[in-house]
Amino acid sequence: MLVVGIGNIHIDHRIHVPALPQRGMEVRAQRKDTTIGGSAVTTAKVLGWLGYPVRLVGAAGRSDLEGEAGRVLREAGVDLTHVQPVSLSAETYVLVDPSGERTMVSFEPPGSRYVLGELPERALDGATWVFMSAYSFVHQSPSQVAKFLDTLQARGIALAVNLCPILSAISGDVLRRVCECAAVVSGNEREWLALTGCRSRDELVVKVRALTKAGHRRQSAACYITRGAGGSSLVSPDETVRLPSVAALSGYDTTGAGDGFFAGVLAAVFAGRTGAETLRAGAWVATRLIREQWLRAPSRPAGWLVSSWPFP
């Protein structure tokens, strides 16, 4: 099978601080490191490490694409044929406090934004799944999004969407249509509350369950809600499955944890796993990504996780 990820390559600058500065104040950083980022990029890397053929569609600065970022992704087994070279890569500045909590500022240079309805058809050739972050729907018109979703449906390609913190920047009509078409939707509890307008967990489960039943998809959806130390839940039309936190991760830099969870869930779904097993697969990846700092490590070859993956 072939999976296609849609999203730009980002350069992440992670700055570790003793505390977040108050408005108008300055704080001295304890350490800084730079890694390859972007939600879809992190998910693509993990899926490549798990042995899945992955194609990335998006944009990246020419020097990054031809340099270290491109080398690391290609070594992970990610096909970059449809990544458009532009003048500069998108960048994200991440302030990490001692608890591991992150505050992020992202910048996408002019010219790096692609139009979903105008993606080359060949970019989707052979794909059985498309995964992407909700970031990809920012500044996209409803008509362009509808065209993209209609293309996926006509070609029998399943869609998986990872929510993002800036849902307010996306048209409500667009978000509803996307969630009605996606087979898998994942996000943290704050993102789900923002999406649904709910104020309590019980109300949230009811709203999310309704979402799994509605829409234009060929089958019911699976929606995943992560809560950090509070564990995670799977909401489907027939059940709610909860998984408690599998590890204490306070003090760790949690950058990429949600994207790792998303990748683990998708890998389990691709393998035909359902229910609690998909939650455990997501938690397995997220926990190791954080504890072992996979995103800061040197490049890894495609398939290097296959032998240790407990959900083949």
Residue 46 sits in a domain whose CATH number is 3.40.1190.20
Cα–Cα distance measured from residue 170 to residue 246, given in angstroms and rounded to the nearest whole number: 33
Cα–Cα distance measured from residue 108 to residue 6, given in angstroms and rounded to the nearest whole number: 15
Alpha-helical regions (H) of the chain:
39-49, 62-66, 68-75, 142-154, 172-181, 189-196, 201-213, 257-270, 276-291
In a domain, 118, yes or no: no
Contact 158, 130 (CB under 8 A): yes
Q: Which residues of 92-118 are buried (b: 16+ CB within 10 A; e: fewer)?
A: bebbbbeebebeeebebeeebbbebbe
Query: How many domains does the structure of the chain reveal?
Result: 1
Q: Tens-digit pLDDT profile for the chain (312 aa)?
A: 899 999 999 999 999 999 988 889 999 999 998 989 999 999 999 999 999 999 999 999 999 999 999 999 999 999 999 999 999 999 999 998 888 788 889 888 877 777 787 788 899 999 999 999 998 898 788 888 999 999 999 999 999 999 988 887 787 788 888 888 899 999 999 999 988 889 898 899 998 888 887 665 556 689 999 998 789 999 988 889 999 876 666 667 778 889 999 999 999 999 999 999 999 999 999 999 988 888 777 689 999 999 999 988
In a domain, 311, yes or no: no
Cα–Cα distance measured from residue 300 to residue 72, given in angstroms and rounded to the nearest whole number: 7
In a domain, 44, yes or no: yes
Cα–Cα distance measured from residue 261 to residue 267, given in angstroms and rounded to the nearest whole number: 10
In a domain, 24, yes or no: no
Q: What is the DSSP letter of 125?
A: T
Report pTM: 0.92
The CA-based dihedral angle spanning residues 300, 303, 305, 309, taken in that order and rounded to the nearest 10 degrees: 170
Residue 254 structural domain: 2-19+31-106+125-297
